[in-house]
Amino acid sequence: MAIIRDGMAPFDLYQPTSIEDALSLANRLGADAWVLAGGLDSLERFKDRIKRPKAVIDLGNIDELRGVRREGEDLVIGSMTTLTEVSLHPEIRARFALLAEAAGEVASPQIRNQGTIGGNISQDTRCWYYRGGWDCYRAGGGTCYAGESLEGQNREHAIFGAEGCVAVTPSDTAPALVALEARLVIRNAGGRREVAVDDYFVGPGSDITRLNVLKAGDLLTEIRLPATWAGATFYFEKVHDRPVWDFPLVNIATAMHLSGERIDRSRFVLGAVAARPWRLPRVEAAVAGSLRNAVADSASRIAAEGAVPLKNNGYKMALARNLVKRAILGKRES
């Protein structure tokens, strides 16, 4: 299906200055409204006319949604805090350097200056069939052109958890937040709820049309980092085609509590291999109580267990194994 690139379809623009006003608008406008964060992903889709909302709620003027603060043991990050601020904030760097590094790997400096942490974890998949206007499962159609067609182009697609749709989450910060056991605050006209970040993301087996739990009327307002992994040993690495301004082919975020070189507890999370950040509980169990050097090889061998590669993305299995090994050892290849 051809993409129309002749400018955006018209819409009503709302620019609230408070969370309450934004929630009222979201409740009144319902499914007709599109909530705009940094706008980098959204505006591209508006210009291509893949998305044609009747109304856009721009959150850019709501100061309450920006900044980083302490609340007890939690570090709270407003959803509209820019990726640049997340990557450079001294307390995030001191206590949760994993997230700071992941945010600093997103795209380019210009995009990080505009893009937000809430937008980065909530962005839609980059599958070109879906974003190109094809009538795939995710768009409400009846096939997956990347996974079911013999001619499908699927180099960047899923090796885990593909049930119909093989699109992946493109976020760099989402795996880091899963590794850190973050909690996300979602508000709507009915009140406030807090969800574990693991439960924020949606796989195709649950809902093939979306990547997260946000529904019409919902706003993601805060990301809360508990002290559980503060000051742990972290590892983040992103493999991508270009050195800047690119999405991951595979990335990894790891948090480990060490006693010397022995791994007491850990969380290993891969990105860009499934529709949601993909935890590796078998790797975590395998390394528990072991010395890093002693367990790196054996743990890496189970990193891709359960993977089902497509025609063009089998290389992701090797990447997953190598990234897990490097994360355990804390060493990147030169």
In a domain, 258, yes or no: yes
What is the domain range of residue 25? 12-61
In a domain, 119, yes or no: no
Report the CATH number at residue 50.
3.30.43.10
Report the CATH number at residue 248.
3.30.390.50
In a domain, 223, yes or no: no
**What is the reported pLDDT for 243?**
87
In a domain, 225, yes or no: no
pTM tops 0.85, yes or no: yes
In a domain, 190, yes or no: no
Q: How far is CA 107 from CA 79, 82, 104, 212, in A?
A: 18, 13, 8, 21
Closest among 307, 108, 278 to 203, alpha carbons compared = 278
**What is the reported pLDDT for 180?**
99
Domains in the chain, number? 2
In a domain, 215, yes or no: no
**What is the reported pLDDT for 217?**
97
| pLDDT tens across the length of the chain (334 residues) | 445 566 788 999 999 999 999 999 999 999 999 999 999 889 888 887 888 999 999 999 999 999 999 999 999 999 999 999 999 999 999 999 999 999 999 999 999 999 999 999 999 999 999 998 899 999 999 999 999 998 999 999 999 999 999 999 999 999 999 999 999 999 999 999 999 999 999 999 999 999 999 999 999 999 999 999 999 999 999 999 998 889 999 999 999 999 999 999 999 999 999 999 999 999 999 999 999 999 999 999 999 999 999 999 999 999 999 999 999 999 876 4
What backbone phi and psi angles, to 5 degrees, belong to 88?
-110, -10
Q: Residue by residue, what is the 3-state secondary structure of the chain?
A: CCCCCCCCCCCEEECCCCHHHHHHHHHHHHHHEEEECCCHHHHHHHHCCCCCCCEEEECCCCHHHCCEEEECCEEEEECCCEHHHHHHCHHHHHHCHHHHHHHHCCCCHHHHHHCEHHHHHHCCCCCHHHHCCCCCCCCCCCCCCCCCCCCCCCCCCCCCCCECECCCCCCCHHHHHHHCCCEEEEEECCEEEEEEHHHHECCCCCCCCCCECCCCCCEEEEEEECHHHCCCEEEEEEECCCCCCCCCCEEEEEEEEEECCEEEEEEEEEECCCCCCEECHHHHHHHCCCEHHHHHHHHHHCCCCCCCCCCCCCHHHHHHHHHHHHHHHCCCCC
Measured CA to CA, the distance from residue 266 to residue 268 in angstroms comes to 7
Of the residues 61, 85, 102, the one at which a domain ends: 61
In a domain, 198, yes or no: no
In a domain, 263, yes or no: yes
**What is the reported pLDDT for 169?**
97
